[in-house]
Amino acid sequence: MDAGELGSRHLSVAWIEVPAGAEQQLHSHEEAEQAYIVVRGRGVMTSAGDGQELGEGDLAMVSPATDHSVANNGDTDLCILSVQSPPVTLAEVFGSQLAADVAGAYEDDE
């Protein structure tokens, strides 16, 4: 649910799948708080230069304007639910190129 979709004014929600060995680009959201909930897999959350191991059921909070990324150091996909408030766009969550790839994947499913 990208910013503005389904009438959302105060939050956005993204499903993130990080393949084994892959890493999300380091990024920040200038105004948005972000919560990551690990649904499946294992990984490392880097926030403000510090790394934290994450596993199924873990919750990680990221303050606004804080550089952060997620890396999958496991053998299977790392699946995360990401919630941001105020809302952000897919490009802000995934990076410009990955957001285009994700949008294209959704279009392929239709």
Over residues 73-103, the pLDDT tens digits come to: 989 999 999 998 887 766 666 554 444 444 4
What is the C-alpha to C-alpha distance for residues 72 and 65, in angstroms, rounded to an integer? Answer: 23
Note the pLDDT tens digit of each residue in 24-47: 888 888 888 999 999 999 999 999
Higher pLDDT among residues 96 and 49, named by residue: 49
Confidence at residue 46, expressed as pLDDT on a 0 to 100 scale: 93
Across 13-17, average pLDDT: 87
CATH number at residue 21: 2.60.120.10
Task: Say whether 84 sits in a helix, a strand or coil.
Answer: strand
Tokens for 100? 């285009």
**Secondary structure of residue 38 in the 3-state scheme:** strand
Tell me what pLDDT residue 11 has. 82
Distance CA 47, CA 35 (A): 12
Is the pLDDT at 59 greater than 60, yes or no? yes
Number of domains in the chain: 1
By residue range, what is the domain housing residue 73? 5-109
pLDDT of 96 reads 47
pLDDT computed for residue 93 by the predictor: 64
The pTM (predicted TM-score) of the whole model is 0.74
C-alpha to C-alpha distance for 64 and 85, rounded to whole angstroms: 9
Rounded distance, CA 52 to CA 32, Å? 21
Pairing of strands 50-54, 43-47: antiparallel
